[in-house]
Structure formats: C-alpha cells, structure tokens
DNA sequence: ATAAAGTCTATAGATTTGGTAGACTATTAT
DNA sequence: ATAATAGTCTACCAAATCTATAGACTTTAT
C-alpha cells in the first residue's frame, strides 16, 4: 500500500494539472478541495518542489504550479519520491539496491527472479501513468456513465 | 517492499518444498539454514499452520511439513497472509476493500483506474509464482551459469 | 506598512515492525 | 514412569515509520 503522503501528493498533482495555465494555486485551496491536512500538504509540496516537479511563488498572488509537463510527471517517479522503491525486494531495485541478508546466492534465486518480473511490469505500468493519462482515464470513465 | 516476516515465510516454504517427502523438519534447522531468528520463525510457521499451508508434529521426530502441494502454494497467498493486501490502494483490493477518504468519486477516479490495472497484473504474476515454479526457476538459473 | 503566502524547525502520538523471554503442552524413546 | 524433544501460547519491548500539528520566519504585492 502506498502511504497517505504519496496519495496526497498524487491528488494534489492531478488537481494542479487540471488547472494548468491558470497561474499559481495556494496551498489552502488544494488542501480544502482535496481534503488534505493543510500543514501536512505543505511539506509534501515542498518535497515536490525540491524534486523539480513543482515550482512556487511567494507572497500575495503566490502559490504552487507545475514545472514539468503533465505528461512527463508519472506515478512511478512520485511514488519513488515519497515511498522509496516500488519493488517488493531490495535486491531487484535499481536505485535502492541492497542485498538480502538471508540470501545464499542472488544469481540463482528463484524468488528474486519472480519479483524482478513483477517489478518490471509494475514500473512499466506506473511510468505510463502520467498526470495527463490519469485525467484522460477520468474523462473516459465519466463518458461511460 | 514486503516485510521480513513475509520474506522469511517464503524462504521457509521453499526450503520445506525442497525437502518434501522427507518427513517433518524442526524449526531450528529451518532457522539455521535460512538465517532466520529462531523465535521469530516460530510465530511465522504457526501462522502458516493456522492458514492450512503447513502442518506440524510435536515431540521427538516432530517438526513442520507442507500440507498443501508445492504447486498450490503461491506468493500471492503468502504475501496476503502476512502483509495484507497486495494492491497499492485500499479501494482496488477485494478482500480488504476500503474507500479512500479523500476520494470524491470512486467510479470515475483515474488514479484508481491505473492502480486497479497494476494490481490485476501483479496478482496474476504472483498467483503463478508457486513454490514449484520458484524451484523450477532456480534450477533454470543454475543451468545457465 | 501590512497582509498574504510559502519556508523551516521542532515535536509528538499512534501504529507497525522485528524480535526476545519464558512458561506450558504434547509426544516419543527408554 | 520419566526424561528429552519439539511445538504452542502469552507477554513484552525497542526502534522505526507514519501522520500529523505548532509556531516562528521570510518573501512579495499592493
């Protein structure tokens, strides 16, 4: 399960993507509309800014806005940013690689082999899931009602 | 990431599967050979027994052994047993379903739509990953060395 | 100046994780 | 019978992580 932090981040990003081009949006508005605790959201947005996904403007008329394109920002990156690795085992991650202590031989580990395949497929799907894609899906679901 | 508990459980099960038909194996042997803290392993095996996957025999000559077939026991079931749902969101799980508090409309949620697809594919792969399959993969990897 | 809005630091309760200790019960060999 | 073996049950605990909250501080537009 993803953490609330990640869930909040995704919701905030989708919210901002829907308002793209409308200038900065203040934290409070995102918090209210998306039902996210204000102070908690602050630190989340700050992280997204540090990651180069969002930018902010201070003072009156300020707020947050997307720095990257909605079709560049994807769930794999956002999830990794807040929850760390997506894989089920440290030994099948790329950026967070770590050997399993209990493991006898990584090269021939059947468990690792399975989890590598799972991770590969998962990341593939999550990489495709950009903000644009999420909004596209939402519109499709609405049209089907 | 899966918990150590789940990882230990999987390793213990694969160990037992490799020794199938050789009678009960004592906890201490599994703990030593698989580098799992003895006392921790006890509770894990007990859970697997309660779940109907393992059975045990007490007293001298006792120990644990597989109750189900190695090709029936799969990673999806084991992971669910110890770590709960496999999905990234509570709203796309079957047995652990829960509505997302922040969510406005589940029916048209694009995020949910993505995570449903991810979960579906993941569970599909993990269901196929039985103990037999894991051992088969291990043998294949060894043969390739 | 002043109000608006993001930034930074610190703290804290709740839950989960990973593990330990020890008494108790059932089984088997002698 | 009884001693040794081996699983079972209950309780506990330290550390880490998660989910926040509080408040002081900085920057900017008007």
Q: Do B108 and A10 touch (CB under 8 A)?
A: no
Cβ neighbours of residue B101 under 8 Å, at least 6 residues apart? Answer: A35
Q: Is the pLDDT of residue A56 over 90?
A: yes
**Within 13 Å of residue A10, how many CA atoms lie on the same side as its CB?**
32
**Count of Cβ atoms closer than 10 Å to residue A72 Cβ:** 13
Q: Do A125 and B126 touch (CB under 8 A)?
A: no
Of A79, A100, A117, the CB nearest to B125: A117
CA gap A39, A28 in Å, rounded: 9
Comparison of pLDDT for A94 and B61, the residue scoring more:
B61
For strand D, which nucleotides have at least one atom less than 7 Å from a protein CB?
4-10, 18-23, 26-30
Whether B23 sits with its Cβ under 7 A from any strand C atom: the answer reads no
Name the closest residue (CA) to the C1' of nucleotide C25.
B58
SS3 state of residue B65: strand
Q: Do B114 and A133 touch (CB under 8 A)?
A: yes
- Chain B residues whose beta carbon lies within 8 Å of the beta carbon of residue A121: 121-122, 125
User: Boundaries of CATH 1.10.10.10 in chain B?
Assistant: 4-66
Q: What is B4-66's CATH number?
A: 1.10.10.10
Tokens of B125: 């792969």
| Per-residue pLDDT at A43 | 97
| Per-residue pLDDT at B145 | 86
Among the ranges given (B13-17, B58-62, B118-122), the one the predictor scored with the smallest mean pLDDT: B58-62
User: Confidence band (pLDDT; 50, 70, 90) for B32?
Assistant: very high
- Chain B residues whose beta carbon lies within 8 Å of the beta carbon of residue A75: 114
Q: Is the pLDDT of residue A9 over 90?
A: yes
């Amino acid at each position: 399960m993803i953490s609330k932090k990640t869930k909040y981040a995704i919701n905030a990003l989708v919210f901002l993507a829907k308002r793209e081009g409308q200038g900065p949006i203040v934290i409070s508005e995102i918090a209210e509309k998306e039902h996210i605790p204000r102070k908690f959201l602050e630190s989340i947005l700050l992280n997204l800014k540090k990651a180069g996904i969002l930018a902010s403007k201070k003072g009156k008329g300020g707020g947050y806005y997307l720095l990257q394109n909605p079709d560049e920002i994807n769930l794999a990156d956002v999830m990794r940013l807040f929850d760390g690795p997506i894989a089920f085992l440290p030994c099948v991650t790329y950026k967070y690689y770590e050997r399993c202590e209990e493991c006898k031989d990584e090269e021939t580990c059947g468990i690792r082999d399975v989890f590598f395949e799972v991770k590969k497929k998962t990341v593939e799907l999550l990489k495709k899931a950009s903000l644009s894609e999420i909004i596209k899906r939402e519109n499709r679901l609405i049209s089907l009602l």
